[in-house]
A and B are shown apart, each in its own frame.
Chain A
Amino acid sequence: KAGVTQTPRYLIKTRGQQVTLSCSPISGHRSVSWYQQTPGQGLQFLFEYFSETQRNKGNFPGRFSGRQFSNSRSEMNVSTLELGDSALYLCASSHPLGLAGMSSYNEQFFGPGTRLTVL
Chain B
Amino acid sequence: EDKVVQSPLSLVVHEGDTVTLNCSYEVTNFRSLLWYKQEKKAPTFLFMLTSSGIEKKSGRLSSILDKKELFSILNITATQTGDSAVYLCAVLTSGTYKYIFGTGTRLKVLA
Contacts and interface: CB of A to CB of B under 8 A. Distances in A.
A45 interface: yes
Interface residues of A, number: 23
Contacts, number: 53
Given A43-B88, A98-B94, A110 B101 contact: no
A43 B42 contact: no
A61 to B, nearest CB: 18
Interface string B2-44: 0000000000000000000000000000011010100001111
Interface string A23-58: 000000000010100000111110010000001101
Interface stretch (A10-18, A79-87, A101-109): A101-109
Interface residues of B, number: 23
B101 A56 contact: no
Interface of A: 4, 33, 35, 41-45, 48, 55-56, 58, 90, 97-98, 106-113
Interface of B: 31-32, 34, 36, 41-45, 48, 88, 90, 92, 94, 96-104
